[in-house]
Amino acid sequence: MGRREFTRTLAIGAAFGAEKTYDVAVAGAGVFGAWTAYFLQRAGKAVVLLDAFGAANSRASSGGESRIIRMGYGPDEIYTRWSMRSRTLWVDFFSRASSALFHRTGVLWMAREGDANAIQTRQMLGKCGVRFETLDEAALRDRYPQVRFAPKMWGILEPDSGALMARRAVQSVVEQAVLAGATYLQEAVVPPAGKGRLEAATTKPGGRIRAGVFVFACGPWLPKVFPQVLGKRIFPTRQEVFFLGLPAGDRRFAPPALPAWIDFSDERGVYGFPDLENRGFKIALDQHGPAFDPDSGDRVVRPEGLAEVRRYLGTRFPDLRDAPLVESRVCQYENTSSGDFLIDLHPEFDNVWLVGGGSGHGFKHGPALGEYVAERILKGGPVERRFSLATKAEVQKRAVY
């Protein structure tokens, strides 16, 4: 199906989708909602997927150019194994969908001597059978002369990891779900009221979506949809991303010369991407920014943020310190108190699932998470305690990196 036919399919869904009753309605066509809908549709369920602004839109946490997929998670085996599963599912999906949206750049972890998280990451990668290399300071300098490493730094290279082209990847998952029979509607769901069993959800155009099960995977909008339950348990924060132009003809900062990278030798958790598809060198700080409203928040980067990035570049990538800013983006994390995902039934509705809390690291896990949510809906069974609503506190104390 070409793009024109796909667009026409969406238009037909918008016109007629609300006239039927679905097995499952999924609100939110970001990476979590899209993969959940995809797996449920492939299981033979009648699924409707809705999004107020469109799949992977510019306000969504799943929007934007690229996301790192890496296996390393310190001592957190559950996330390492979910990353492994997700990488397999992403690669298989892109192969079947004929979409070249995974760049196997490798992912380089930079660490200080004695860094506990890096040491635990290396141990867990070994335990889980992930292919990796340990690089000492000399090896780092020899392999990546375009990077200025501090004395006694060392690194871990995951050669099979890399970058996902985020916005297009999510839209491809939605497209394949529609091709499999799912209905897609660009409509906003009104926050449900009452308790017990939700029979139907109302959309802002005035439609009604009837379904046996509802999944709300609304990302940073979850606190707005369920303010009493999640208003103090999901924390959307403002995050700035920068793309810098490379010197003409300089391929030192593009694959395969440079992998995606995460610098845990810097307490700000700086990370970045090589020049992918000629969009520039991407860099961001993995720090929780100020509180942010996904509807009305200002999406223009601050001069102070760019200045901080340039100071970092002067230390680690000195040849890019004065590189021109060619693109920038303000998005948001939707953090839980710990950084663990939220996957649980609503405490007052027995057929409403709450799915979110990507917390800045969730995109890569979309396939494994969607598969997991679909299995809970189809087969039942307890939810991993770390994902439960009961473990989500009202004070942030990040534990997942």
CB 169 within 8 A of CB 184: no
CA distances in angstroms from 36 to 4, 170, 260, 369, 376, listed in the order given: 25, 12, 27, 7, 11
Domains 3-62+167-232+338-391 and 90-163+235-335 share a fold: no
φ/ψ (deg, to 5) at 44: 95, 10
| CA separation for the pair 145, 160 (Å, rounded) | 22
Q: pLDDT value at position 19?
A: 59
Write out the DSSP string of 93-146.
HHHHTT---EE---EEEEE-TT-HHHHHHHHHHHHHT---EEE-HHHHHHH-TT
Q: pLDDT value at position 16?
A: 44
> For residue 357, what are its two tokens?
């809390």
Residues whose CB falls within 8 Å of the CB of residue 225, separated by 6 or more in sequence, listed in order: 27, 189, 191, 216, 218
| CA separation for the pair 352, 340 (Å, rounded) | 20
Domains of the chain, by residue range, sit at 3-62+167-232+338-391, 90-163+235-335
CATH architecture of 3-62+167-232+338-391: 3-Layer(bba) Sandwich (3.50)
Domain boundaries 90-163+235-335, corresponding CATH code: 3.30.9.10
Q: pLDDT value at position 234?
A: 97
Tens-binned pLDDT, residue by residue, of the chain (401 aa): 444 444 444 544 444 444 589 999 999 999 999 999 999 999 999 999 999 999 999 999 999 999 999 999 999 999 999 999 999 999 999 999 999 999 999 999 999 999 999 999 999 999 999 999 999 999 999 999 999 999 999 999 999 999 999 999 999 999 999 999 999 999 999 999 999 999 999 999 889 999 999 999 999 999 999 999 999 999 999 999 999 999 999 999 999 999 999 999 998 899 999 999 999 999 999 999 999 999 999 999 999 999 999 999 999 999 999 999 999 999 999 999 999 999 999 999 999 999 999 999 999 999 999 999 999 999 999 999 999 999 999 999 999 99
- Helical axes 77-96 vs 366-379, angle rounded to 10°: 100
- pTM given for the model: 0.95
